[in-house]
Amino acid sequence: MKYSASEIAGFVNGKIEGDPSVEVSGLAKIEEAKEGTMTFLANPAYTQFIYSTEASIILVREDFSPEKPISATLIRVKDPYGALAGLLEIYQGKTHERKGVSELASISKSAKYGENTYVGEFVSVGENVHIGENVKVYPNTSIGNNVSIGDGTVIYSGVRIYQSTSVGSGCTIHSNAVLGADGFGFAPQTDNNYKKVAQIGNVIIEDNVEIGAGTTIDRATLGSTVIKRGVKLDNLIQIGHNVVIGENTVMAAQCGVAGSTKIGRNCMIGGQVGISGHLTIGNDVKIAAQTGVSSNVRDGKIMMGSPAIEASHYKKAFIYFKNFEKLVARIDELEKEIKRIKTD
């Protein structure tokens, strides 16, 4: 699939500087691009490569001023990285364009789906399921009874959506994610065994949420586990029962959030963060990778370490930690000196 510079400029509302008829069939990093590919320059640290790249088309900022001649056709835009993101979305839509329901899918007679929906091979759709328009459900996905899926959502292969889960519009759920499995609820018994507590709630995924591959979101014991609109969850994340994650919060891979914790809106949570149960994390909080959070966090705080403390305090403490061996040696010397003085 080829696109000309004039077509690309139309997609991104850009201004062409060079040959508008030049065509590209792929994308590449600026330092690796070859003829027939398009690249972009958003980070000034890579400016040196714009003079040596073999790319045919380059997205640059409106105010970019070259210091040397450039052989490629330039497309000037306000935000090259944002423009690239838009182009990638268009490209993905073209390459993944699928419609129709496979004869190898198993769909309950009471299930309903809207126009332009794609349901792939070996998909299982349960009773009273409602699937909106322009939804794509890729092969080997299982959708339980009473599930609802909003318009324009994409569900990749191998996803498991348990009964009564609600998925909003414009969501993306990547392969092997599990939505609505049992929450981890067990009551200790006097004989040192554990009795399973029935998990009868559900999971609610609001609009424009992205859920990474292998991520699991447990249904509530009672009520709902809620992932609010605009949330982005990376791969291999565990969200416990009755958790609420606020609007537009992002969470990197391998995080774990224990049951009944409430996370605010617009938070940024690094990889491998662990958050204990029944906590409240405020709005606009930032949590560094591998932090262990065991107490509530107020709005706007930046947290590091395990147990988590404010980042500014952690950095000061870490200076002493790095010099711990020297500090111990100095203390030993002082103790010897004090002992010598007492002896004298």
Which sequence positions are flagged as catalytic?
241
Q: How far is CA 48 from CA 43, 53, 60, 66, 94, in A?
A: 11, 9, 13, 10, 33
* Whole-number Å distance between alpha carbons of 124 and 47: 51
Element (H, E) at 125: strand 124-125
Structure tokens given for 202: 């559900």
Helices (H), 175-323: 311-322
Classify residue 69 by burial, with Cβ atoms within 10 Å: 0-12, 13-18, 19+: exposed
* Cα four-point dihedral sign 33, 39, 43, 47: positive
Residues in the chain: 344
Q: Residue 159: CB partners within 8 Å, gap ≥ 6?
A: 138, 141, 142, 173, 174, 175, 176, 177, 178, 179
* Whole-number Å distance between alpha carbons of 284 and 301: 7
